[in-house]
Structure 1
């Protein structure tokens, strides 16, 4: 018989965070989450200032067999004028009873919060890791992207969930960025310059003001995306703080028009290439050295965010931002870049990536179900 326990103390929280290590023990593609980062996300992240999250563990006798978070994102509901509920941090053995009991527990809690639907997985929102892998190249995930057993899709659909949307991850072979692409980038850059639009690196000296301006762009450029909700100042600052720790300004660019930031891109090294060798995601005693000393060996990047405000779209800014990233990547002997995630119906971004040789190589999914 499957029993459910709510996480209420530090011991339970540790069990919750560590469960995936056991679930993926024999999976060579698994990358453990950093324990301290995961603990902060579950307990101290700015998300908790405006919303609720309850964690549950599933047991078969004394053995942990699954986990889930039930999430009420008040900012999302207020922004969209809906009463949605969410689930996240879902992990389960390949067992319909275990998965069903977990999801039913989350659904029941959300119903007490007057939610009329359950959507997920989001951890804890679309501003962090979200979706679950449904197909893709057999390799570890890049930084801040989901990874899971492929049987999850069958579990969700067998339990009455339906597809909400798919999220696409593109791979870009940096070595393909050759002379022809460089010449095209030069022409596009020159054309933007005649309109008074320039591309430059993010200034670390004026980092706080840069972040404030980028946040304005983010909240405007992403406002039509699925699951979007404006980030609070604290949430954006938290994301920037985390990114700054691994940031290379050659891959963090802004588009400016007469001193006003109208677009930006945030691209970070794929630290998962190092993190996958850190036992149980612990930084101490030796993990921190692996992380610091291994950065120079990283040969893959993740384009985490790229957006342009509506009035400046279709001018070629997106293409120049991508092209400049790739040009800088070539200089630093980067082999590959992943642009993720992109909504499957975002025609403009999908076309821009295809035009620079990007190919969809992984697909993630968000599902939903009515709460009755």
Structure 2
């Protein structure tokens, strides 16, 4: 059966592009739908601050009967290339059936679009950058994705490799049980962390929910400073952080976000987000009219937390113990809420200090997402 790939142009094309995952995953019990409005924005079909500096083109694949069988978004992100001295283009929002020729045709169209813009390599999946959902799931297919983490069928990896893509970086998910975080080993680490805090004068405080926008601006400053040398890092813009704050202000639990401060200046942060995936699945990704209320009032029943990587500014990264202190000071909040399981995601393969710290904290790798690349 032949495949046709065309640029997404009409409102009907946009609708079919966005609704394709519901068609492909309808029999997969582990799939969790995305927030529908959020996907429209991130794919560039509605206003989003990422596209103040980036451009994109969506493509939709159809079979001979006109049925949608695949999609891809080609992304030109000059901020990444300025940051790293690269000349790369990117792709994301990839979905495809196993029909022969669908994936290769999609990759060919995205590659041609990026080549026309002078790019000499293509990397992904990123949807639409490393600051959002990124990576292809290649290991850990036995559990549903946690909040804001990607999921895909097993066969996608074979498709990528058949199209000439090769691994460029793995992103690991580490999982641990709260009860094991209070083991003798962890108590020893907490003792060491407390000594470091006393020596450096660092104070730990929770997030202030009534000034979430100001807190997110602090988060942006720490994130951009602490990750500036990290593989694949792209700085977050102020409008992007404002957008995050607007989306997350009712979902963030203050006790699950900690700031490390020295003389009132923030030098580190640990941000945790409840795993809303079970509720998102129940509301089918629709926030309105009742989905938002179900998220807001159902969150107290959630017992799994996703901890986004610990961020410490360069001047204090040598003061080992700030990262563990941020987490250990959050444990009483985990216990009072009833959190049973913690997921640390994601952690880059090349981030050896963070990986070593997580192993010492009684966690283990439970999932691997992969970033691929190939020359154009």
Same fold (TM over 0.5): yes
Residue 52 in structure 1 maps to residue 55 in structure 2: yes
CA distance in 2 between counterparts of 1:216 and 1:102 reads: 37
Residue 146 in structure 1 maps to residue 147 in structure 2: no
Gaps of 5+ in 1: none
Q: Secondary structure at the match of 1:32?
A: coil
Residue 171 in structure 1 maps to residue 175 in structure 2: yes
Gaps of 5+ in 2: none
Q: 1:220 aligns with which of 218, 222, 225?
A: 225
CA distance in 1 between counterparts of 2:268 and 2:304 reads: 23
CA distance in 1 between counterparts of 2:257 and 2:331 reads: 12
Residue 72 in structure 1 maps to residue 50 in structure 2: no
CA distance in 2 between counterparts of 1:210 and 1:85 reads: 32
Which whole-Å deviations, capped at 9, do the CAs of 1:87-142 have from their partners, x for residues lacking one? 00000012341000000000000011111000000000000000010011511100
Cα distance, 1:332 vs structure 2: 1.2
Cα distance, 1:7 vs structure 2: 1.4
CA distance in 1 between counterparts of 2:293 and 2:243 reads: 23
- Give the paired residue count: 370
CA distance in 1 between counterparts of 2:364 and 2:141 reads: 12
Matches within 5 A, 1:138-217: 138-178=142-182, 180=184, 181-182=186-187, 184-217=189-222
Residue 108 in structure 1 maps to residue 109 in structure 2: no
Matches within 5 A, 1:284-299: 284-299=288-303
Contact map agreement 1:243 1:268 (CA 8 A) in 2: no
Cα distance, 1:348 vs structure 2: 0.7
CA distance in 1 between counterparts of 2:90 and 2:21 reads: 20
Which whole-Å deviations, capped at 9, do the CAs of 1:259-304 have from their partners, x for residues lacking one? 111111111111112111223x223344334323321111111112
Q: 1:355 aligns with which of 357, 360, 375?
A: 360
CA distance in 2 between counterparts of 1:73 and 1:224 reads: 18
CA distance in 2 between counterparts of 1:15 and 1:191 reads: 54
Q: Secondary structure at the match of 1:262?
A: strand
Q: Secondary structure at the match of 1:277?
A: helix
Runs of 4+ displaced beyond 4 Å: none
- Return the TM-score normalized by structure 1: 0.95
Contact map agreement 2:136 2:370 (CA 8 A) in 1: yes
- Return the TM-score normalized by structure 2: 0.94
Match of 2:305 in 1: 301
Q: Secondary structure at the match of 2:101?
A: helix
Which segment drifts farther, 27-36 or 184-193? 184-193
Q: Secondary structure at the match of 2:209?
A: coil
Residue 34 in structure 1 maps to residue 35 in structure 2: yes
Match of 2:95 in 1: 91
